[in-house]
Structure 1
Amino acid sequence: MRLSELSARGGVSVPTIKFYLREGLLPPGRRISSTQAEYDEEHLRRLALVRALIQVGRMSVAGAREVLSALNDPDLDEISQMGKAVAGLPQPLPPAGDDGAARTAEESAREVQRRLGWRVVPENPAHQTLVSALSALERLGFPCDDAALLPYAELAERLAEHEVALIDTFHEPTTRLEAVVALTVLYEPVLLSLRRLAQAEQATRRFAGGPADAAPDA
């Protein structure tokens, strides 16, 4: 397909696609003349992924480029590519610090992972973000020991089993990598929204007399 068709099918303007090409977010098309190139379904799928990273995931162009570089790194095996791609996604919290709260949080994070048989990788950005969040809870006096954390981790494990099984339904390694990134970016706001909806429902049932007292769905 020509650039104009890629633009129409992808819902992205031609100037924006040219910008993505210049920035290395999209691979170049197959050159058919000095001024024209052809693009294929791989470009269309990658364009959708770039839009998800930048528009939904709110990533910078440089951050998106870093994540996407894992998809084409020939020196990494597939699981390492997945890890590099996810590690490049934005991390929501700053470092935990170095006080008593941070040390308690670190031990809680390690213990709950050990209890579930997970490998503890302190340099994993997700581990560091977990410790940072638990540190903040500890400083505010909210429960964040491994007993309080374990139900969350057990739910996360069930969710991860579902997601990895879904990713495994894609047969091409590149498509699986794209699915890892897309599901991570796009389902995090879905999970947050569902959690808040569930909290509202449970709070209504516990504190306001049950579902019958709730306002009807608009």
Structure 2
Amino acid sequence: MRLAELSELSGVSTATIKYYLREGLLRPGRQVNATTAEYDEEHLRRLRLVRAMIQVGRVPVATVREVLGHVDDDSLGRTMRLGAALWALPHVPEPDAEDEHLGAAHREVGELLGTLGWQNAERLTTVSPSYRSLAVAVAAMRRLGYDWDAELLVSYARLMHRAAVLDLDFVETRESEAERVEAAVLGTILVEPMLQALHRLAQEEESARRYGFE
């Protein structure tokens, strides 16, 4: 397909597509002549991914480029390829080293992972932004006086593990390795807001069941 058709099918303007090409977010099309290139279904799929990351996920262009670099890195195994892509996505700010609750939060999260038997997660504690995000959130809860006990955290973690199983079951329906990693990244951007919305709807439903509408 030519650029105009790629634009029509994707809903992305030709000017924006050209910008993505210049920024290295899309690989160049097959050159037909000096002024014309042809694009294929892979370009269309990648363009939709880029658009979702930028428009829905509000991910900066530089970060999109970094994520896509990991997606396309054939030298990495699947776990590291997926992890590297997801770690490049935005996370909570770096923790305040002076936070008196942070050390306890790290210990608590470490104990949580041990209780769950998540050995891979324990190995990644020094590098995973998700681990740091969880520790920062737990520290904030403690600082504000909300002392969730370990049993409650374990229950939530097990719910999230079930969600992760569903995530990767879907990812494995994709044909190529690059598509699987793309699906995982897209899932992080799009599924997490859906899960958040479902969580809030469930809270509203349970609140109405318990307390009525008064």
Q: Give the structure-1-normalised TM-score.
A: 0.92
Q: How does 1:64-143 map to 2 (within 5 A)?
A: 64-118=64-118, 119=120, 120=122, 121-122=124-125, 123-143=127-147
Q: Does 1:189 align with 2:193?
A: yes
Q: Does the 8 Å CA contact 1:57/1:186 hold for their aligned counterparts?
A: yes
Deviation at 1:125, TM superposition (A): 0.4
Give the counterpart letter for 1:62 in structure 2: A
Structure 1 residue 45 and structure 2 residue 45: aligned?
A: yes
- Which letter maps to 2:64? A
Counterpart AA for 2:141: L
The structural deviation recorded for 1:192 is 0.7
AA matched with 1:16 = T
- Which residue type is aligned with residue 116 of structure 2? L
Alignment partner, residue 166 of structure 1: 170
Cα deviation 1:46-75 (Å, max 9, x = unaligned): 000001100011001001111111122233
- 1:60 partner letter: P
- Please state how far the C-alpha of 1:98 moved relative to its aligned partner: 4.0
Q: Which moved more, 1:129-138 or 1:102-111?
A: 102-111
Which residue is 1:144 aligned to? 148
Structure 1 unaligned segments of length 5 or more: list them: none
For these two proteins, the number of residue pairs brought into alignment is 210
Q: Aligned partners of 1:161 and 1:72: how far apart in 2?
A: 23
1:96 and 1:206 map into 2 onto residues whose CA distance is 39
Counterpart in 1 of 2:12? 12
How many angstroms apart in 1 are the aligned matches of 2:106 and 2:148?
A: 11
- Quickly say closer, same or farther: Cα 1:93–1:150, change in 2 above 3 A: farther
Q: Distance in 1 between matches of 2:168 and 2:12?
A: 30
Pick aligned residue for 1:204 from 182, 204, 208:
208
SS in 2 for 1:80: helix
Q: TM-score, with normalisation over the residues of structure 2?
A: 0.93
RMSD, aligned α-carbons: 1.4
- Given that 1:6 and 1:44 are in contact with CA atoms closer than 8 Å, whether structure 2 keeps it comes out as yes
Partner of 1:57: 57
> Is 1:82–1:180's contact at 8 Å kept on the other side of the alignment?
yes
Cα 1:26–1:74 shift into 2, 3 Å: same
**Structure 2 unaligned residues grouped into runs of 5+:** none
Corresponding letter in the other structure for 2:128: N
1:60-98 per-position Cα deviation (integer Å, ceiling 9, x unaligned):
100111111112223312221111100011103442534
In the aligned structure 2, how far is the partner of 1:128 from the partner of 1:71? 23
